[in-house]
Structure 1
Amino acid sequence: MSLEDRVKTLQDKKVDLEKILEDEENRPLPDNISVHDLKRQKLAIKDEIERLTHP
């Protein structure tokens, strides 16, 4: 997998997590543990993209 493919895959996964996070936050009683975990995953992906694009 090329670097560009890896970054694209990570960006796609981040978009998916953002949608899941938005859905969870808009529930009448959001699960705070899930919200926290989703935010952590999203941040990890953001950091990985940053690391790959700015060595």
Structure 2
Amino acid sequence: MNAPSDISMKTDDVLRVELEVFKREHRDLDDAIRALQATGTADQITLQRLKKKKLLLKDKIAIIEDRLTPDIIA
């Protein structure tokens, strides 16, 4: 078990802080990708690497949001 990345071992406050950090990183990557595409100076490998990192952050964000959002039984 990898304790630092194990979501079940973290408090909600820690998860909220991580969520904000991940969202900021996601926005920054989005801005960087758009800027590189606009200038046409980026190679495809760099863009693919940034997009993959952005997708990984999106997955982390979704996992944390699921953990922080209470289940509502209808």
Specify the TM-score bucket, using the shorter chain as the normaliser.
Answer: 0.7 to 0.9
Aligned residues: 55
TM score, norm. by length of structure 2: 0.67
Unaligned runs of 5+ in 1: none
Alignment of 1:48 onto 2:60: yes
CA distance in structure 2 between the partners assigned to 1:18 and 1:48 by the alignment: 16
Unaligned runs of 5+ in 2: 1-12, 68-74
What SS does the corresponding residue of 1:30 show, helix, strand or coil?
A: coil
Q: Which has the higher mean CA deviation after the structures are superposed, 28-37 or 4-13?
A: 28-37
Q: Which amino acid aligns with 2:40?
A: P
TM score, norm. by length of structure 1: 0.87
> How many percent identity over aligned positions?
22
